[in-house]
């Protein structure tokens, strides 16, 4: 089994469970799942070609590790562009 059939069978074995009414959250988590499964399949294929069968990481610990790293990432500080909202203007001498 290769390609999409293998990916679909992995999704069937280890589905993600998202309880959200927002469609965009379900799509986001599905895309994260697709990225994780594709990375795992690629890693597994490369290690089997290099005869490193003992170094293949199972899918569940890989997903758990990915989730822990994303949770520990912390909030993102966004800097806004443009004029500050404080109303202070900086005067320059010309």
Rounded Cα gap, residues 14 and 60, in angstroms: 8
CA-CA-CA-CA dihedral for 65, 49, 51, 15, to nearest 10:
30
**pTM reported for the whole predicted model:** 0.64
Rounded Cα gap, residues 49 and 16, in angstroms: 29
Lowest mean pLDDT, pick from 10-24, 45-59, 80-94: 80-94
- Domain layout of the chain by residue ranges: 4-72
Q: With bands split at pLDDT 50, 70 and 90, how would you rate the model's confidence at 1?
A: low
Closest CA to 43 of 57, 32, 31, 54: 57
């Amino acid at each position: 089994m290769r390609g999409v059939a293998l990916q679909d069978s992995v999704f069937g074995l280890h589905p993600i469970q998202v309880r959200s009414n927002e469609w965009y959250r379900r799509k986001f988590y599905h895309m994260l799942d697709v990225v994780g499964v594709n990375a795992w399949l690629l890693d597994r294929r490369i290690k089997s070609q290099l005869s490193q069968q003992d170094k293949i990481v199972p899918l569940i610990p890989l997903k758990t590790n990915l989730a822990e790293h994303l949770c520990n990432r912390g909030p993102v500080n966004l800097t806004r562009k443009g004029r500050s909202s404080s109303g202070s203007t900086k005067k320059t001498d010309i």
